[in-house]
Every structure is written in C-alpha cells, then in structure tokens.
Amino acid sequence: MPLLGSFCLTFALALAAYSFVVGIIAAVRKDAAGFRLAETARRAGMASFVAVLFSAGALVYAAMTNDFSVAYVKEHSNRALPAAYKFAALWSGQEGSILFWCLLLSAYGFVLRLRHKVDQRLTAMASVILAGIQVFFLILVNFETRPFGVLPFAATDGNGLNPLLQYPEMVIHPPLLYLGYVGLAVPFAFGLAALIMRYPGEMWIQITRRWTMVAWLFLSIGIALGGHWAYNVLGWGGYWGWDPVENASLLPWLSTTAFLHSVMMQEKRGMMKVWNAWLVFFGFMLSILGTMLTRSGMVNSVHAFAQSNIGRWFAGDYGWIGTPWRSLPYAYPGFLEVIFAVCLWFYIRNKDHLKSENKLESLVSRESSFLFNNLVLLGACFAVLCGTLFPILSEWVRGYKITVGAPFFNTIMVPIGLFLVFLTAVGPLLAWRSTSFGSVWRAFAIPALISLVVEVILIVIWIRSGIKFWRDISQIYALLAFCLSTLVITTIASEFIRGGRVLKNKLKTNLVFAMYHLTRRNMRRYGGYVVHFGIVVLVVGVAGLAFNQEQEQEMAVGDKLQIGHYTLVGQEYTQDDNANYGSDAALLDVYKDGKFITRLNPERRVYKANGGQPNTIPAKWSTLREDLYVIYAGLNPDTGHPIIKAFVNPLVNWVWLGVLIVALGTGMALVPNTAQIAVRVPQAVAVAAMEKESMQPAGVGK
Amino acid sequence: MKRLLRILLLPCALVLLMGADNQEARFQNLGGKIMCTCSCEQMLLKCNHVGCPNSDRMRKELRAAVQNISSDDEVLNWFRKNWGVTAVVEPSRHGFELLAWILPVAGLGLGLLLVIFVVRSWKLRTAPVAPADAVLDPHLESLRQRAQRETEI
C-alpha cells in the first residue's frame, strides 16, 4: 500500500506538471491545435485529483490497518486509537497534512475543470494557474515531506495521536479550515487569469464570488470550530488566545472579508479594480502564510503540531555556503515570493486594464463606507500580522524571540473591532453614489436612540448589581460593544421592515410574508444582513469575556467551592484505566442559588502512547446566559486531594450561535434570487455579449 | 456655591473609590501580561499545572512587586530582567519593542493616507461621458428608477 500511495503521488505530480506546461502552451497558441492541447491539459488536471485521492486513500488504509512499517502511521497512530482518529491521522502530522492540502487543491481543481463551460477561456487559464500551485505542493510532498517513508522494521505499535487532537471536533475542524485555506486558491487563479488575459468585463468577479464565499464560509466555520475545540480541550477557560496559528487563520479571513465587500463596488460601479485584484492575491498569499506558520513550527504555538524546515520552501532562504576557499552568499526565493513576483509582473504589464470606470461622487455614500470598511479590515489584518511575525523580527534584529500575546492584541484589536461594528451599522444605511445627511439622519435616528436607551438601561442594571464598570477598561469596551451591537441589529431590522413595507403595499400581503419575498428577491443583500446579524451576536458573546469569574480550590469529598451563583460540592473522586489512557475524575454536584441543577464530571487523562502526556477534559453546565466551566487541575501531592478550578463565562454560547447565524446568512447569499426581471437587452450590452462570444474558442455552446 | 463644591468633590470621591482595590486590579492586570515560565505556555494567573516549579514563586513576586513598585512598566521590566524577556507577553514600550506598537498604528495611518489619495484621485477624475448615440431604453430606465426608489441602491 505505501508503494501504491507513493506511486500515485509521483503520477499526480507528472499529471499536474503536464497540465501546467501544456496549458501554458495552449494559452500561447490560439489555434484549433491549441484548443485540443488545452483540453488534454484540463483532463490531465482532473486525473491528478484521482491520483492524489488514491494516494490519500492509501495512507488512510495504512492507518486503519495499523501498518506501522509506514513511518508516518507509526508517528501518528497506534492500535488502541479509535477508528475516527485513525482517519484523522491523515492531517494530524505534517506530511499527511501537506498531502491533504494537495487532495483538497486537486478536488477544487477537479470541480473547476468540470465546470469549464461557464467560461472556457478564463477557466482554462485559471486551471493552468491552479496546476502551477498543485505542482509546488506535489513537489513538496514527493521530495520534502514524504508521507510514505517506510521503516526498516515494522514497529509493533505506534506512538499514537497527540492527545490534544483526540477530540471529535478534531475530525472536522482541520478539514474545514483547510477547505477555507485551499479554497482561496480558486479566486486567486481566476483573478490572476483575468489579469493575464486582460479579460473584459466583470465576469471573473461573478464567477469567483461564489467560490470566495464558499471558501470564506469554510474558513469561518473552521476558525470557530478551532475556538470551540480550544474551549473544550485546552482547559484554560477561553476560546481565543491570539496564538500565532489562530492568528494565521484570521489573516486570510480578514482580507477575504474585505474583498467580499469591495467586490460589490467593482460589480456595481466598476471601481476598485486594482484593489480587488490585490485583495484576491493577498488573500491567497496569506492562506499560504497560514499554512507555513502552522506546519513549519516557525512560531511557538499550542497548535503548531509540526516542527520542520519546510518554511524555506514557502519563504525562501538565504545564508552563506562554505567552499574550500571562501564562504559565498546564497539566496533563493520561496513559493510566496514567486507568487508575489508573478502577480506584480502581470499587474505592471496590465495595470491600464484595471482603471476605474466611475468616479466617487460623494464622501457620504456606500462607496466611501466600503473604502473605510476595507481600510479598517486591512488595518486589522496588518496589526495581527505585525504581532504574529514580530517575534521572528525580534529574533533577526535582537537575537532573541520576544513573546507577543493576548494583551498586545487585545489593546490593538478591540478598538479596531468596535469601529468595524460601528461601520457595520452605518454602511448599509448609505446609498450608492450619494446620500444626503438628512436621509442618513432619518434612517439612523431611531436605531441610535434605541441603542442609547439600551446603554442607559445596562448602566443602571450594572450599577444596581454592584458592577463598577468604569474601573475596568474591558467592561467599558463591553458596554460599547453592547451599544454598537444594538445599533447594528436595529439598523438591520429597519432595513428589513422598510423594504418589507414597500412590498407589503405592492403585493397586498402581510409584513412577514413581504419580508420573506423581499429576501428571496435579493438573497445576496439580505443574506449579507443576516451575516452582519451573526457577527454582532458573536460580538455580544465576546463582550461577555469582560465579566468572566474564576476560582481554584483544593476539594476533598464534601468540600464546597463557591463561584458566582454556583456552589460545587465534591461527591466522589475516581480513577480509571483503559488501553488508550488512564484518568482521574471528579464527581461534583452543582447548586445554583441553593438549588441542585446538575452533576459535573471533569477529568484529567494521561495518554499512554505519548509518553504520559496529560490532558484536561473540562465539564460544563452551559446556558445561553453563561457557562459554568470546571477543570480537574490535578492532585495536590502533599494532601492527595484534587484541585478543582471553576470558571463562570458569560455569553459564551452567543459566540457559537453567532457563527451558526453567519453560516446561515452566507448560505442564503449563495442561493439565487427568485424573481428575475426580464428586460430587453440594450445595444451596449448586446455588443459586449457579442465581444464575449467572439472570445470563445470555436465550437463552444453549439 | 455648595452645589459647585459638590460637583467638584464628586470626581475626587470617584478617584478615591477607584483606588480602593487598585492593588488587586493591578495584580490581576499584570498577571495577565506575564507568562508562566515552566514551558506550559499559559499565562501566570491561568497556569493550572499542578506542582509547577515557577508559578507560585512568580505570583508571590508579582504581589510583592505590585505593592513596592508604583509603575506597571517597571513591574514588567523587573520580570523581564529576572525571568527573561519571554516572560512578559506584551512588548515593552521602549527601544526596539516599541516598534511592535507603532507598526499597526502606522499601517492604519498609511492606509488612511492611501484612502484619501484614492478618494482625491476619484473626485478629480472626470466622469465617463456616455456616447452621443447611446439610446436609453425607456422601459429599462423606468425599471431602474423604480428599483432605485424601492431599494435605494
């Protein structure tokens, strides 16, 4: 099986290389022979997916059948490991995860090539670019991080999977995150193809919008699942620690969010073409950077499950090479530099093609709100990038790596985030081209008043509850977050109601039905509002962090721990042992205001196959209002009593709820509208359509 | 006059109240900026590593430092000096590490300048002129106007 897997990988590389080289030749030759060559390149690209699929299947098979002659399987699996985690071993180590990258990339390529009739010429060029990316990753997996390395002697058992990864979500979190990362290759390929071909019109934008939204959705869910996993497994009571690997996933998310907004300006007004092209390019480059940070071990992280020197393949390298006579300097570019150089080259050659078609008519307009939205999103992206890479910079300059952690990111990012929420409230109220201040005021007055009232009510409630929020900057930020979230929710509601009223009068129906029709007629716009609603629900959840409480105590049987409204009473402490791990657990009765509500069972496991690595399994009592989160921290060696740590984390479930709403809204925005208004084609559009037709190779559409 | 005096005294009382449990707030705040050095990769006040060789000692030192040193920066510098630069997870606001604080702000500032430049160039550009022979479809135009009226797009 390792031999088959290895062969399939080499074959996939040959097919991708063929697809790349012959695709370029076909793009240069514009005759019938060129068209036939392009078709062979397309089919070779599709076949490469089948080859990589076989290869990945071979690795999974080896893990499932405990084939410990394969070094990778020995390192990341063991006999006692449950089957789902054996399957997850495919992406739990570096070699497997790069193979998984190749698999997802070739799968995206397969779908893209399958749907080539959308626009054959553009898809052919995008397919060449995608093949180029495939070639890089297949070279990496064939020569640097080989998953099918065979040991001289088959081991009797493996080292097992990292205990932190032995959690159900770990079976779906990495694939979703990778689907997001890799998915950004498709809009990149279309964007670069359109620039190379000087492709007329905004067709590439329309084609890539859905691809980008799908990738963004996967990325969003992947990031959220990562946070959920951290909350449930790492046992420190939080879900986001500004860890470098978490940041690496946030970078492409922020730049793609900016793109999804600014792309509307290009579609509707023919503006920001340069900006959009570079946003697509940077989005992909940041996803590659994220992959590099996760897999190279360049930065210290609890998520960096691999340490290696593949960083030089991505970022290049420089240094001195020793010869018998003298040392000579050397430097070579990595994949990131090559991509940047290619993008820059074609941008310089074809930048006149990206000129804006319209001018900004007013500073108070939807266009300018998108500009500021992009500025803030990219500013946030830059700030996260600075903080993430600063330890590396400090090592270069000062010789040691400083630590840049959560306090730095919170100081910088919270004000930026709050300003973004403010823009989310204001932006949709502005019309395209120009909006009068009177119109803004009319739309904004009631939401602003409601949010002000909510703020006053909150202040009164907090003061009556003894919360001295003015002493804690995080609670002041939380107050602002609640206020701005109310503002966003009321503006979204007012948009739905305003549009619904117009339709209600027209269709002679009730408001709810009218709002449903309104949404179905413009799924993208109203789906976008639902996404905004999801984001503010998430913001409310994050604001709850300012009110977290924690308490740690040594607890014998019958001892009590008091935290907030809750009382925990130690009932029983047990020990267990199975083939995979040994565990210590506590059984705690939980009372809220003196009333019994549940029994919690926090656990601490020590995995046998990983050199006795301990892992905490928190127990939770979870409601929409707050989570009671309990950890079995360990045994006090002096007294032999367990140490229990409890947290009360308000509004955590709002974070997960917000992500679900974001996913729902994105799904809505992907659904086509119901009512298409048929209009006669004006002369200018007909000419454009004829030009497009003339660009298609002979025989298309017949 | 009495009313004015009360108004002036109110902020003073607030300031005094704010200082009441200032030491504990400082301890919590600074503890969130210092990392346990036992390689557990957790913040000092979050370290749940039983039998940790460092966290108890570090917490005691932090409590003492909060009582004896008035400036937060000096407390953090004390930890940098005694436990190594990686013990503090927030870059210092002096020397090379100041760059970490400046870069994001400078990036946003440059971005703002870029936006101003783009807006200016757009405002200065003349609007594209429709061809003289372009004939507007009256039906399409009426639909466009209706859509604009109804949706403000």
Q: Please check whether residue A105 is in contact with residue A133, taking contact to mean a CB–CB distance below 8 angstroms.
A: yes
Residue in B89, B104, B115 closest to A371 by CB: B115
pLDDT at A682 over 60: no
Nearest to A60 by CA among A155, A173, A167, A175: A175
What's the mean pLDDT when you consider all of chain A?
86
pLDDT at A610 over 80: no
Q: Count the alpha carbons within 13 Å of A515 in the hemisphere toward its beta carbon.
A: 14
Say how far apart CA A445 and CA A33 lie, in whole Å.
65
Say how far apart CA A451 and CA A487 lie, in whole Å.
5
SS3 call for B49: coil
A460-476 average pLDDT score: 86
Check residue A466 and give its pLDDT.
83
SS3 call for A148: coil
pLDDT band at residue A322 using 50, 70 and 90 as cut-offs: confident
Residue in A378, A393, A679 closest to B140 by CB: A679
Highest mean pLDDT among A194-198, A575-579, A662-666, B146-150: A662-666
pLDDT at A328 over 70: yes
Check residue A688 and give its pLDDT.
47
Nearest to A202 by CA among A261, A268, A254: A268
Q: Measured between CA atoms, how close is B96 to chain A, in angstroms? A: 8
pLDDT at B134 over 50: no
Q: Could you tell me which residues come within 8 angstroms of residue A675 by beta carbon, excluding any fewer than 6 positions away?
A: A520, A521
Say whether A382 and B107 touch across the interface (CB within 8 A).
Answer: yes
Q: Could you tell me which residues come within 8 angstroms of residue B76 by beta carbon, excluding any fewer than 6 positions away?
A: B30, B33, B34, B88, B90, B92
Confirm or reject contact between B51 and chain A (CB < 8 A).
Answer: yes
Nearest to A641 by CA among A575, A581, A573, A577: A573
Confirm or reject contact between A507 and chain B (CB < 8 A).
Answer: no
Say whether A471 and B151 touch across the interface (CB within 8 A).
Answer: no
How many Cβ atoms from other residues are within 10 Å of residue A575's Cβ? 8
SS3 call for A645: strand
Highest mean pLDDT among A88-102, A121-135, B59-73: A121-135
Using a CB-CB distance cutoff of 8 angstroms, which residues of chain B are in contact with residue A640? none
Q: Measured between CA atoms, how close is A371 to chain B, in angstroms? A: 7
How many Cβ atoms from other residues are within 10 Å of residue A699's Cβ? 9
Choose, out of A164, A265, A358, A359, the residue to mutate when testing the contact with B (most B CBs < 10 Å).
A359
pLDDT at A225 over 80: yes
Say whether A359 and B123 touch across the interface (CB within 8 A).
Answer: yes
Residue in A368, A403, A432 closest to B153 by CB: A432
Handedness of CA A242, A245, A246, A248 (dihedral sign): positive
Least confident of A152-161, A613-622, B118-127: B118-127
Say whether A235 and B48 touch across the interface (CB within 8 A).
Answer: yes
Check residue A480 and give its pLDDT.
94
Residue in B85, B87, B96 closest to A397 by CB: B96
A408-422 average pLDDT score: 93
Q: Over the stretch A248-306, which tens digit does the pLDDT of each residue have? A: 999 999 999 999 998 888 887 778 888 889 999 999 999 999 888 877 766 666 555 55
Q: Over the stretch A201-222, which tens digit does the pLDDT of each residue have? A: 777 888 888 899 999 999 999 9
Interface of B with A in 3-42 (CB under 8 A): 14, 17-18, 25, 32-33, 35, 41-42
B109-135 average pLDDT score: 69
A226-238 average pLDDT score: 85
pLDDT band at residue A664 using 50, 70 and 90 as cut-offs: very high
Say whether B48 and A683 touch across the interface (CB within 8 A).
Answer: no
Token output for A74? 């020995």
Q: Over the stretch A26-52, which tens digit does the pLDDT of each residue have? A: 988 878 888 889 999 999 999 999 999
pLDDT at A358 over 90: no
Say whether B51 and A637 touch across the interface (CB within 8 A).
Answer: yes
Residues facing residue A563 across a β-bridge: A566
Q: Please check whether residue B99 is in contact with residue B107, taking contact to mean a CB–CB distance below 8 angstroms.
A: no
Q: Over the stretch B16-43, which tens digit does the pLDDT of each residue have? A: 444 445 777 788 888 888 888 876 667 7
Check residue A596 and give its pLDDT.
93
pLDDT at A147 over 60: yes
pLDDT at A200 over 80: no
Using a CB-CB distance cutoff of 8 angstroms, which residues of chain B are in contact with residue A359? 122-123, 125-127
Check residue B17 and give its pLDDT.
45
Say whether A404 and B91 touch across the interface (CB within 8 A).
Answer: yes
Check residue A177 and give its pLDDT.
92
Check residue A297 and give its pLDDT.
67
Question: What amino acid occupies position A158?
Answer: G
Token output for A72? 């990778």
Using a CB-CB distance cutoff of 8 angstroms, which residues of chain B are in contact with residue A400? 85-86
Confirm or reject contact between B48 and chain A (CB < 8 A).
Answer: yes
Q: Please check whether residue A639 is in contact with residue A645, taking contact to mean a CB–CB distance below 8 angstroms.
A: no
Check residue B48 and give its pLDDT.
61
Confirm or reject contact between A690 and chain B (CB < 8 A).
Answer: no
Confirm or reject contact between B109 and chain A (CB < 8 A).
Answer: no
Q: Measured between CA atoms, how close is A181 to chain B, in angstroms? A: 24
Highest mean pLDDT among A90-99, A461-470, A478-487, A508-517: A478-487
Q: Over the stretch A430-442, which tens digit does the pLDDT of each residue have? A: 877 777 778 878 8
Check residue B3 and give its pLDDT.
58
SS3 labels along A47-78:
HHHHHHHHHHHHHHHHHHCCCCCEHHHHHHCC
Token output for B125? 């550009």
Question: What amino acid occupies position B138?
Answer: P
A215 vs A218, A258, A654, CA distance in Å?
Answer: 5, 14, 23
